[in-house]
Structure 1
Amino acid sequence: MIKTKLLLLEDDPNLSESVSEYLEEHGFDVQCVYDAVSAEEILYEQKFDLLLLDVNVPGGDGFSLLKANRKDGNTTPAIFITSRNAMSDLEEGFESGGDDYIRKPFALKELLLRIQTILKRNFYHNPSDVLVLGEGITYDIDNQILMINSHEQTLQLKEHKLLKLFIQHRNELLPHEVIMEHLWDYDETPSDGSLRTYIKTLRKLLGKDSIVSHKRIGYQFR
């Protein structure tokens, strides 16, 4: 199973160790950095599922770091961790593109709950709820409406879920087990045959080259 990948920017070594160990015990893969420059470098090199950003760090600050990454198109959700408590700081945090804000000192359980809540969302920081997937092809995220040349297309519920997953992870190779876990609930039995049918349907609508199959590994949406 692929672990959810978190970036933790925290210059206090003791707090960084406590947070990372706790989250790793709960199944997360945590990458720790201790200054803004290192954070900027790793964000350029790697993709994460969520960012945990201290505000006051050497080499810059969490607000400026996230704001710059948002301008570059990085939509990864982010939680600010800070000892600042002024309303102006809270406003600056959200204006820079943050999704949540937790003040020090905090309970590790509270941080975990905030992380889990944010990761349940499907999309982050999209300027529009309607995405353009190709020439004449749009997808309304909230209303689950796929339009091709002004004609609405009919999709099953799991086909909508699969399309949303692909859009959220565009150009990434998604392993079969990740897709299966996303499409089927715990009380349902995953089906390879059904997944292949959903893929076939989306390819027919979006183009046969839109979804690349990597044998015995997974699929990639382009």
Structure 2
Amino acid sequence: MKILLLEDDLILNEILEEHLKEQNYQVFTTFSSDEAEKYLYSQNFDLLLLDVNVPNLNGFDLLKELRKNSIKTPAIFITSLNMIEDMQKGFDSGCDDYIRKPFELKELDLRINNIKRLFNIDLKESIEIADNIVLDMKNQSIKKDDKIYNLAKKEFEVLIYLYNNRVKIVSIDELINNIWSYEDSIEASTIRTYIKNIRKILGEDIILNIRGVGYKFNF
């Protein structure tokens, strides 16, 4: 599950990021609406966690803008604004849930799990892609012919991205933009190496190399 976190409190941002990563979520942290927009208009996310009182555009207006631009990603506001009128503004702007600060991390987990249930996100613990091949989402591994192959975290994320986008050809640039943050410097050769390692396990007929264009999950 890929989450964008917008929270300008440095300590809370770090706490939330650490906690979410412990739950095996992929987390992109931002501290202002401008920074968040750079991600939101270039990548796809499964969930948005948005503070309201942040630099530049506030969270309510940011979400309104996203909804006007047909970005329907589920969103939860996490904010110290605790009046019923504030909550009304949040839901009017298009949010799917609203958490008042301070809150316990367990409450956040419960609300995220509810969003996952409502929007059918990340519910499968394993995906069978062939009679003899299963992707283990929890352990980030591949089971093939009763053998277990453990992948590096980013290798597995590349594999899952290709699987989730199997209806199209995926370029190397698209993989970089959707799996790494824009501050990271990733070489195309790194992606090719990851995919080469995956194809050694799955077989070249599962992930096709469309020369000069990208890769296609053949399933």
Partner in structure 1 of residue 39 of structure 2: 42
Residue 119 of structure 1: which of 116, 121, 125 is its match? 116
The residue type equivalent to 1:92 in the other structure is K
Partner in structure 1 of residue 49 of structure 2: 52
Residue 130 of structure 2: which of 183, 192, 210 is its match? 192
Structure 2 contact 52–77 (Cα < 8 Å) conserved: yes
RMSD, aligned CA: 3.0
The unaligned stretches of length 5 or more in structure 2 are 132-165, 171-204, 208-215
Taking the aligned partners of 1:55 and 1:68, their CA distance within structure 2 comes to 14
* 3-state SS of 1:45 partner: coil
CA displacement at 1:121 relative to structure 2: 2.1
The residue type equivalent to 2:114 in the other structure is T
- Compute the TM-score of the two structures, normalised by the length of structure 2: 0.59
Taking the aligned partners of 2:78 and 2:35, their CA distance within structure 1 comes to 17
Residue 12 of structure 1: which of 9, 12, 21 is its match? 9
Assess, with a 3 A threshold, how the Cα gap between structure 1 residues 212 and 53 changes in structure 2: closer, same or farther.
closer
Structure 1 segments of 4+ aligned residues over 4 angstroms from their partners: 210-215
CA displacement at 1:213 relative to structure 2: 8.0
* 3-state SS of 1:31 partner: strand
Partner in structure 2 of residue 83 of structure 1: 80
Assess, with a 3 A threshold, how the Cα gap between structure 1 residues 110 and 190 changes in structure 2: closer, same or farther.
same
- Compute the TM-score of the two structures, normalised by the length of structure 1: 0.58
Taking the aligned partners of 1:219 and 1:95, their CA distance within structure 2 comes to 39
Residue 62 of structure 1: which of 43, 53, 59 is its match? 59
Query: Are 2:83 and 1:93 aligned?
Result: no
Taking the aligned partners of 2:18 and 2:106, their CA distance within structure 1 comes to 13
Taking the aligned partners of 1:36 and 1:58, their CA distance within structure 2 comes to 6
Taking the aligned partners of 1:102 and 1:121, their CA distance within structure 2 comes to 17
CA displacement at 1:122 relative to structure 2: 3.2
